[in-house]
Amino acid sequence: MTKAMFSIEKQLVTFILVLLFITLSCTNNPLLGTTKITDILASPSKYSDSIVRVKGKVTESFIFFGQGYFILADGTGVIAVVPSKTYPKTGEEVTIKGLVKNAFVIGDKSLTVIIENSQ
């Protein structure tokens, strides 16, 4: 094998690896891990102001104090999501990426939400 052929093969392998990395970095790639809703709700301060990926089924959508939300259930728990653009349909399976926020705390009760990224 000549040096030129080896160089071309090396460039091709590098290109494929970069392409694979970009593909795996996509927001809704199912190969990337997700966080269980129960983990977020069990330790809201641990996840507060962190970006998470959550996968689940949309169970309902509503407006509360002028802000739209939908409820996402993953089999371990449910959490409110502030959508970035449009609401997914009730019953639809979605994977979202967003910022965890503690919306408010009243006594020992709190509301933790995920603010979906617009990407």
Q: What is the pTM of this model?
A: 0.69
Mean of pLDDT values over 30-48 = 86
Does residue 21 surpass a pLDDT of 80?
no
Our CA dihedral for 43, 44, 46, 49, rounded to 10 degrees, sits at: 160
How many of the other CB atoms lie within 10 Å of CB of 38?
14
Strand 67-73 versus strand 51-64 pairing type: antiparallel
**Quick one: which of 97, 106, 110 has its CA closest to 27?**
97
The mean per-residue pLDDT over the stretch 84-96 comes to: 91
Evaluate whether 98 touches 116 at the Cβ level (below 8 Å): yes
